[in-house]
Structure 1
Amino acid sequence: MAIKLFLRLAISAGFLSAVADRFGIWSKEVSVWGDWSSFLHYTQLINPWLPETFIPTIGAVATAAEIIFAVCLIVGFKTELFAKLSGGLLLLFAFSMTLSSGIKGALDFSVFSASAGAFALSLMKEKHLELDTLIASS
């Protein structure tokens, strides 16, 4: 039970930390992007095959997905589904990083590991501190 809760919180924290960085919440000393514009520049860098006009939409959709997935995992709403979606999003991100700038960045930022963790979470059936448990018992 503790491992499942740990995975839910760790994956969520990773998503929310990245989102916070895009909005300048992290200090410049620890920030990867530091602001929305820098994040969009990085989004273009790892998606060079997309027209530049698509980048703001891709950035916004990815950011919204990360927020939604994180909140759902934290509260335990449809955990299996949102764990699978999180694994897919992280794997897509890892492949984009790998194809555009090489595998080192995806490995250094543990994106493949985070994706694997999310997929593993989706296979854990027991419920612990999950909203789904309350919904099912109603």
Structure 2
Amino acid sequence: MTDQNIRFPQLFLRLAIAVTMLSAVADRFGFWGANSAWGNWDNFEAYTRKLTFFLPESLSVVSAYAATFFEILFPLMLLLGWKTRLGAYGAGFLLLIFAFSMTFALGVKAPLDYSVWVGSAAAFLLAVQPKYFFSIDHLTHK
């Protein structure tokens, strides 16, 4: 496959992963209104406690904040195309952790319904690309 053939699919993959992750963050802050899964931070914390049942409650709350921080950081890196490989690996591992946590806490159906495994795999596929078009990374490596 030539560079020309992968430019737009690669950009689409970057944007799809980033927007999907940022949408989840928007949901926990109530930006989706009636179409939300959590709708507010308290509901998101309760959901996080459910997924991190194996942690003490104080660490569960910390994990909600940490997840939110990384769910903002990695997508922004992908949107900008800055440190894209790091952002893609970070998103891949974060989604992989979510997928395993959802599987253990809620069963196999939940991460399948929300395509968390697919998102993780997509992020890892993006991470191994030789170069990143339409990105700050591409501009600074010329």
Quickly name the TM-score band, shorter chain normalised.
Answer: over 0.9
Aligned residue pair count: 136
Alpha-carbon distance in 2 for matches of 1:131, 1:40: 35
CA RMSD of aligned residues (A): 0.9
Q: 1:107: how far off?
A: 0.3
One-letter amino acid matched to 1:15: M
Structural mapping, 1:3-82, within 5 Å: 3-28=9-34, 30-82=35-87
Structure 1 unaligned segments of length 5 or more: list them. Answer: none
User: Are positions 1:132 and 2:122 aligned together?
Assistant: no
One-letter amino acid matched to 1:39: F
User: Are positions 1:108 and 2:113 aligned together?
Assistant: yes
User: Residues 67-103 of structure 1, C-alpha deviation per residue, up to 9 Å, x if partnerless?
Assistant: 0101000010111111111110000000000011101
2:88 to 83, 86, 97: 83
One-letter amino acid matched to 2:95: L
* % identical aligned pairs: 45
Is this contact kept in 1: 2:49–2:61, CA < 8 A?
no
One-letter amino acid matched to 2:20: G
Is this contact kept in 1: 2:95–2:120, CA < 8 A?
yes
Structure 2 unaligned segments of length 5 or more: list them. Answer: 1-6
Alpha-carbon distance in 2 for matches of 1:64, 1:6: 23
SS at match of 1:68: helix
Is this contact kept in 1: 2:82–2:135, CA < 8 A?
yes
Relative to the length of structure 2, the TM-score reads 0.92
User: Residues 3-56 of structure 1, C-alpha deviation per residue, up to 9 Å, x if partnerless?
Assistant: 11011000001110000001001112x100000000000000011011111122
